[in-house]
Amino acid sequence: MKMLNKNQNWQAYQKEIADDHYYFARSCIRQNVFPAAEDVFLKIIGKELGKDIFDDVRQTTCTGIAYHSGVLPFETTMTVVAHQFALMKEAGYENFVCSCVTSFGIYSEVLESWKFFPDTLKNTREALKRATGKTFEIPSNLVHASDIIFKFRKEIASKAKYRLVNALTGEPLNVVDHIGCHYAKIFPEKGIGGAEYPYVLAGLIDEWGGAQVDYPERRHCCGFGFRQYLLKSNRGYSVANSKKKFESMQAYKPDLIIANCPGCTFFLDRWQYTIAEMEGKTYGNNGFGIPVLTYEELSGLLLGYDPWDMGLQVHQVTVEPILDKLGIHYDPEAKYKGLKNADLGKPIMPENLRCI
């Protein structure tokens, strides 16, 4: 039997990604922790690619975090999802785009439940009607926001001012991709490349000139664990799983981590700070951490957007090492300024994790 190169195996999994006219569903965590990231995505899709994407003021949480933490019945989550679909219908769209991997898993789970347990669809329609008077249609196309970046990765590359190469040496940068469990582990056929060889971010790395880091714990969970992170008493679960990944990837000297899920991005950023302060251990060079970016932030950087306009100053792990490697010019003095250069002071620097 001819063995395929593992980077080609993803081709077994293809998915339909609509070409235009998207209804955008925002993420609770992404808005709070990376508050400018989604607007970078909207700018790329709308202004760079000329696509129509609708950002509805009326949308809400999908409730996924509460559901997976065990405080909400699935019937509630299904009906809130139906409410989101009703808003999409009223806005005149049929292609639903989630900015959150937990949400993508939730929407996918709800659609599968409705398909295989038709009574749940009937009951949800009735519950939504009784509660809100609304009706809904099932989307023609459901994707995660990174799927659209993947679909248009070549177009983005053609407009990019930078590539994922070391500006001094010309060598590809070593990039870790982290997909997030609920992108493809629940329904492998719904993720580009499936669960075994997910390609949604690896494809960006390949197209944009970087080198994928294939390390032993590549597919391991970041450790969110929903209620395990949300309770202070249980949080050791979360940091222990992220640490397992950092220890595994460190030998491959990653220049950058990119993540699909806003929760994963947060944990891979913040647990590096925590581990440094608790144990004195850092995973980047010279006391820095390994910078962690979302897929939109990376896309924006390569397109030449200002890192401080995209909110990279609110990452705990300092991003300057990757900006320098990419050869990106930035104003260090502007990092912690407000509008019109207003002085907002500076954050306290951690004791062990080197930050700027």
Partner 1 sequence: MATLVERLKADFRLVEGLKACINCGTCTAICPAAAVSDYDPRIVVDTVQQFNEGTLMELLKSDTIWKCGECLSCKTRCPRENVPGYIIQALRSLSIDTGLFIESEQGQRQLAIKRTVGDHILKYGYCVYVDEVNTDMYPEQGPIWDWMQKNRKEILERLGTSYGKEQSGSLRNIPEESMQNLQKIFDETGATERFEKIEHYSRVNAEKLGVDMDATNDCDYFKKMYEE
Contact 46, 118 (CB under 8 A): no
Ranges within 299-338 binding partner 1 (CB under 8 A):
309, 311, 313-316, 336-338
Interacting residue with partner 1 among 25, 29, 156, 322 (CB under 8 A): 29
Interacting residue with partner 1 among 1, 3, 168, 344 (CB under 8 A): 344
Q: Is 252 in the site for partner 1 (CB under 8 A)?
A: no
Interacting residue with partner 1 among 8, 19, 347, 356 (CB under 8 A): 347
Q: Is 235 in the site for partner 1 (CB under 8 A)?
A: yes
CB of 214 to partner 1, least distance (A): 18
Contact 175, 256 (CB under 8 A): yes
Tokens 């299904």 found at: 78
Ranges within 192-231 binding partner 1 (CB under 8 A):
195, 220-221, 223-228, 230-231
In the chain, alpha helices (H): 28-33, 37-43, 64-68, 74-91, 101-116, 118-132, 145-151, 153-159, 181-184, 202-207, 227-230, 236-250, 262-279, 295-302, 320-326
Contact 79, 85 (CB under 8 A): no
Stretch 100-139: interaction string toward partner 1, x if CB under 8 A = -----x-------x--xx--x------xx-xxx-x-----
**Crossing angle of helices 262-279/236-250, nearest 10°?**
90
Ranges within 69-88 binding partner 1 (CB under 8 A):
69-76, 78-80, 83
Residue (173 or 293) nearer to partner 1, CB: 293
Interacting residue with partner 1 among 59, 141, 248, 352 (CB under 8 A): 59
Q: How far apart are CA 79 and CA 29, in angstroms?
A: 21
Residue (37 or 256) nearer to partner 1, CB: 37
Residue (159 or 244) nearer to partner 1, CB: 244
CB of 38 to partner 1, least distance (A): 6
Residue (148 or 276) nearer to partner 1, CB: 276
| Interface with partner 1: number of residues (CB under 8 A) | 93
Q: How far apart are CA 188 and CA 289, in angstroms?
A: 31
CB of 258 to partner 1, least distance (A): 19
CB of 61 to partner 1, least distance (A): 5
Ranges within 135-194 binding partner 1 (CB under 8 A):
181-182, 185-186, 188
Tokens 């709308």 found at: 46
CB of 76 to partner 1, least distance (A): 4
Contact 297, 303 (CB under 8 A): no
CB of 208 to partner 1, least distance (A): 24
DSSP per residue, 55-123? E-TT-----HHHHHTTSS-HHHHHHHHHHHHHHHHHHT--EEEES-HHHHHHHHHHHHHHHH-HHHHHH
Q: Is 248 in the site for partner 1 (CB under 8 A)?
A: no
| Phi, then psi, of 141 in degrees rounded to 5 | -145, 130
